Amino acid sequence: MPEATVILDATAIQRALTRIAHEIAERNEHSTEVVLIGIPVGGDHLAARLAKILSGIWNHAVPVGILDVTMHRDDLDQRVAPTVHPTDIPFDVTGKTVVLVDDVLFSGRTTRAAMDALNDFGRPKKIQLAVLVDRGHRDLPIKADFVGKNVPTSLDEKISLLLTESGAARDEVILKKK
């Protein structure tokens, strides 16, 4: 069994999300322009949680969408076809500030694909990026606006986010040797 370390427990995840929500609120003075879009798997649930916290801060509902980026990936030729998830963006993104939400920021290729995919749905005024964990090793010039935790990793490690929404017993972020 590879060694697994818990790098964020349920309380720490909740605390990080609360802080990110306050940072989003601080950065965006026009709260009605802000929409959250999560990237599956993981980012969609985090986006829903962030929206809940933000609606408490702003006293109005914050729209949440799901954006699947698999068809926009640049590595489709180099791997077995990834799982395609439904995309559900029940609002117009044109003129909005879109906060993309992902669980782990790694190479930056998912974020690039997400920005590309978002083009098909309209022209946002701004795009910001919120991630629960930034593990480094970027391949592209991409930087997160909001980060839950910076975790220095080596390339042979893997970070997994477990959430109760996806059937896990408790919320956890785990670091494992591959």
Partner 1 sequence: MSWTKKHLLDIESLTAEEITTVLDTARGFKAVGERAIKKVPALRGKTVVNLFVEPSTRTRISFELAAQRLSADIVNFSAEASSFKKGETLKDTALNLEALNADFIIIRHSASGAPHFLSRVLDAHVINAGDGAHEHPTQALLDTFTIREKKGKIAGLNVTILGDILYSRVARSDIWALTKLGANVTLCGPSTLVPKTFEQMGCRVTHDVDEAIRDADVINLLRIQHERQRKTMFPSIGEYTQLFGLNKARFAKTKPDALIMHPGPINRGVEIDSEIADCSRSVILEQVTNGLAVRMAVLFLVNGGKALPEPAQ
Interacting residues toward partner 1 by CB under 8 A: 68, 70-72, 76-77, 79-88, 116-117, 120-121
**Residue with smaller CB distance to partner 1, 84 or 168:** 84
- How does DSSP assign 6-43, residue by residue? EEE-HHHHHHHHHHHHHHHHHH-S-GGGEEEEE-TTTH
Shortest Cβ distance from residue 113 to partner 1 (Å)? Answer: 9
**Residue with smaller CB distance to partner 1, 45 or 73:** 73
For residues 31 and 173, the answer to whether their CB atoms sit within 8 Å is no
CA distances from 7 to 53, 110, 134, 162 (A): 22, 22, 12, 12
Smallest Cα–Cα separation from 8: which of 53, 56, 42? 42
Shortest Cβ distance from residue 119 to partner 1 (Å)? Answer: 8
H or E stretch covering 111: helix 109-118
Beta bridge partners of 64: 36
Shortest Cβ distance from residue 93 to partner 1 (Å)? Answer: 12
Shortest Cβ distance from residue 13 to partner 1 (Å)? Answer: 26
**Residue with smaller CB distance to partner 1, 61 or 76:** 76
**Residue with smaller CB distance to partner 1, 63 or 122:** 122
